[in-house]
Amino acid sequence: MTLRPNVAGLILTVAVISGAVIAAFLALRFAQSEADRDSLVWQRQMSIVINSREAAVEEWLAEQKKVISRLAENPALRIYLANVQAVGLSQDDDSKAQAAYLANQMKAAAQQNGYISTVDKDFKVNANLKQTRIAGLALTNPQGQIIVSTVAMPSVIPAIADFLERGAGSDVVIYGPYLGGSGKSVIAFIAPVFGVQDDQDSPAIGFAVGIKIVPQDFYRKLVQPGETAKTAKSYLVRRNDAAMEYLSPLRTRNGDDIQPLTLSLDAANSSLAGAYAVDTAQATTGGFAERINYEGQRVLVTGREIKDTNWVLVRTVDSAEVMGAIVARKKTIVWIAGLTILAVSISILLIWRHGVSMRLTKAGIQQRALTSRFEKLSHFLQVVTDSQPTVITAVDAQGRYIFTNAQATKDTDIEPGQMIGRKAAQVHGPLTSPDMERHYQKVLDSAEAMSVVERLPESAVTIKSDYIPLSVKEERGVLMVTEDISELVRERELKETALNNLVSTLTMVIDSRDPYSARHSERVAMVTQAIALEMNLDDVTRNTANIAGALMNLGKILVPRELLTRPKGLSQEELETIRDSIMKTADMLETVEFDGPVVKTLRQIKAHWDGSGTPAGLKGEDILLSARIVAVANAFVGMCSARAHRPGMDMEAAASLLLTDAERIYDRKPVTALMNYLENKGGLEQWDEFGMPLTVE
């Protein structure tokens, strides 16, 4: 049966209208589901940001605690406090010198780590006025009374009292922030100091306390790099009895600044965003809710508890920004859906009227859907990369930019979109390597990823660049990711300097304890360094051997001095006590962080090539190379150095004896390297003083 055209048209019109109504209903439901999804996107975005800021704050606190821990674990400091506890403060020259030495060390540590206040650093008070005590480092007795401190160190009694009230454990405790004598926000870090031979279950013999003005660098940790939300804020609060204290700087809608610890609100106000964040911060997600912020604005809020503190990190975004974007997108979806339904309806009627194939309509709808998905994916990737602190770019085989993020054009006059299609060599950002073109061309040729660390010319900036080959069908390119690692490099250099100073200090302590082998540690380190250089070893192995050689006799501080100063007449048991000092050295340095296996090297110095030494059975290449080198250097210095009861051995004769014991006690390679240094590199003349006797007072 064939329908007449007007009847078929009526049926098609009714069908189209019915379909349009159903489509409109589905579009509204889809718009609502998209609005719900957008709300979840905001919550996930807030979670990602607050987790990132939480990690940044906790990382900063961990660095501060590490500074105080290192001070509390300083052997010289622990020995001094033990003496003060045993005999009290002494006014003799040695005690004054030791106190002055510790004070200088603490001043250097304070300058390096921000514990010197602006007043202390920049000007002096010439009038007879009391100087405001703001910040500094101090060592106290168990009652919190200062023994040694930097110049402007304030009273530490409240901080010590807080530490004892928490149970006086072995971990570093954070006290504050609180308003210091200058009216500025300060924070204290307290670490217990234990005796040299005590463990952490023993009572503390004193405390290491650091008080510093909370720096702007800390508050910058609350700012998310690449922040996209206009009204987003991150700040710190804590509950203090019935008050909600705001610990970080705030800015009002009028542009007024609120200084830390100057704003307190009612903590019992359940509608307050800060109170909600504190109540829910211990939960895994922190919770999300709409509350009122400190200015009375409605905001979406979540919170996170900062580890080892009573602080809570609060993250808020104005409800108007969140809901406004969601409502606008919902309206857009409804309008687009309505227009699409209308267009589809008209298209169906036109297609029916003109007899156009339905396949073309289906193909057009699929193409629009794919295009929309591609645009959404491209926008998502752009947002993600723009929020990263690194420079992310990509070039094609001709060296033209095909992708850039916002960081690539930061501090330049070029917009990210303007870089697309340009030659990479023509655009120079603040982190652009002068050899970038050569690097990505090498990756294009080899199709292998490459990582390069380099310092920019005429700059203190060090960058790390990763070059990754790209290949899509027949098109080739290179993805380039560059980050500024200057701060990491500076921290490493400071760490190496501090370690070298510690090694030098401990070497002096060793020599002062054992006058008959004075400068032995220094000479062992000197010979070790020469052997390692002669063997062309890597920096880590060379530094490991050097530090182990310099510190191997540190354990002698635990040996009675009367044994060390008696050149003859020692019993076998007394000799074993002295010889076992190397293992005591390893025990003392067990918790110290080195770049190489220093402690493991110390434990293997007495190992023999044939396995007859200590530890038993350890032999050959299984012995660390650093330990084999130190063993040769130690034996050589011991034979060549003059003692009160004997002259030093001729260096060539000592080297020959070492060669005789090669492959039995010693590794032949470091022995051969030592002999070559003596004969061909001026070692005989350089170390001629080894044979000269030292005067023991």
List the structure tokens of 633.
Answer: 């250097």
Q: 269: which residues sit within 8 A by CB, 6+ positions away? A: 244, 275
Q: What is the pTM of this model?
A: 0.46
Domain 489-691, CATH number (from 2.40.30.10, 3.40.50.720, 1.10.10.10, 1.10.3210.10): 1.10.3210.10
pLDDT band at 129 (very low <50, low <70, confident <90, very high): very low
Residue 46 has pLDDT above 80, yes or no: yes
Structure tokens at 192: 């217990």
Beta bridge partners of 454: 463
- The chain-wide mean pLDDT, for the chain, equals 79
CA dist., res. 225 & res. 130, Å (int)? 43
Domain 388-484: give its CATH superfamily: PAS domain (3.30.450.20)
CA 381 to chain centre: 27
Share of the chain above pLDDT 70, in %: 74
Evaluate whether the domain defined by 26-115+131-348 bears CATH number 2.60.40.790.
no
* Length of the chain in terms of residues written: 697
- Residue whose tokens read 């821990």: 69
pLDDT digits over 302-327, tens only?
999 999 899 999 999 998 887 776 66
Please say if the pLDDT value at position 118 is more than 70: no
Q: Does 26-115+131-348 match 388-484 in CATH topology?
A: yes
In the chain, where are the structural domains located? 26-115+131-348, 388-484, 489-691
Q: Are 188 and 159 in contact (CB under 8 A)?
A: yes
Question: Which pair of structure tokens corresponds to residue 99?
Answer: 């106190």
Integer Cα distance of 185 and 211 in angstroms: 10
Q: For residue 416, which of 391, 441, 452 has the smallest C-alpha distance?
A: 391
Above 90 in pLDDT, residue 96? no
Amino acid at 565: T
Least confident of 363-367, 562-566, 644-648: 562-566
Tokens of 605: 């110095």
123 pLDDT higher than 60: no
Task: Single out the residue of 454, 553, 474, 462 nearest to residue 506, CA to CA.
Answer: 553
What is d(CA 214, CA 64) in angstroms, rounded to the nearest whole number? 11
Q: Out of 244-258, 502-516, 586-600, which region has the weakest mean confidence (pLDDT)?
A: 502-516
Take residue 103 and report the two structure tokens written for it: 């004070």
- How is residue 189 written in tokens? 């870090």
Secondary structure of 409-436 in the HEC alphabet? HCCCCCCHHHHCCCEHHHCCCCCCCCCH
**Contact between residue 221 and residue 60 where contact means Cβ atoms under 8 Å apart:** yes
pLDDT of residue 30: 65
User: Tell me: the pLDDT tens digits for 611-660?
Assistant: 988 888 899 999 999 999 999 999 998 888 876 567 778 888 888 899 88
C-alpha span between 342 and 21 (Å, rounded): 10
Q: What is the pLDDT of residue 271?
A: 92
Q: How distant is the alpha carbon of residue 549 from its chain centre?
A: 29
Q: What is the pLDDT of residues 487-544, one digit of tens each?
A: 776 766 666 666 666 666 766 666 666 655 557 888 888 899 999 999 998 888 999 9
pLDDT > 80? residue 166 = no
More confident residue, 393 or 285: 393
Pairwise CA distance, residues 253 & 250, whole Å: 10
